[in-house]
């Protein structure tokens, strides 16, 4: 399941670039339909991978741009729902022009909320009881 490693990579890239005084509220990514990355597992893995990072609790918006290509035989621009679809002229000699990307398109942040005094006291009391 390489979607887990893709998700780890996305979270790591953002975490490395977001200052520690900010928390991420939303991440938008494009995962092209011809990228070989399945979007549902990425969505599933995101909350698990983001836990304990500035992305914890962030909303993940995924768009799936369709595949496109240009036929070498007839020169047509063709929509490609998958990599096995031929050009309407019958040729499979198609250069891909879209739909392979996996990229972060937006990251929204807000100031990190300092723990409220009551929350911090409860957390400290809980750690003393656990220890």
Please give the annotated binding residues, written as ranges.
2, 71, 74, 87, 89
At a CB cut-off of 8 Å and minimum separation 6, what does 25 contact?
57, 58, 59, 108, 109, 110
The token duo for 81 is: 């729902």
Do the Cβ atoms of 62 and 42 come closer than 8 Å?
yes
Compute CA distances 36 → 10, 44, 52, 81, 97, whole Å: 16, 17, 28, 12, 15
Annotated binding site for Ni(2+): 2
Bridge partner list, 78: 69
Q: Report the binding-site residues for Zn(2+).
A: 71, 74, 87, 89
CA angle, 56 as apex, 50 and 59 as ends, to 5°? 95
């Amino acid at each position: 399941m390489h979607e887990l490693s893709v998700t780890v990579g996305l979270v790591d890239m953002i975490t490395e670039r977001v200052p520690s005084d900010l928390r991420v509220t939303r991440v938008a990514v494009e995962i092209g339909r011809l990228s070989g990355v399945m979007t549902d597992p990425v969505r599933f893995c995101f909350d698990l991978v983001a836990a304990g990072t500035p992305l914890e609790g962030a909303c993940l918006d995924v768009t799936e741009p369709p595949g496109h290509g240009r036929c070498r035989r007839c020169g047509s621009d063709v929509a490609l729902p998958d990599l096995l679809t031929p050009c309407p002229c019958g040729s499979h000699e198609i250069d891909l022009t879209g739909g392979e990307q996996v990229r972060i398109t937006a990251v929204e942040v807000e100031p990190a909320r300092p723990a409220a005094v009551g929350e911090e006291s409860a957390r400290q009391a809980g750690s003393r009881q656990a220890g």
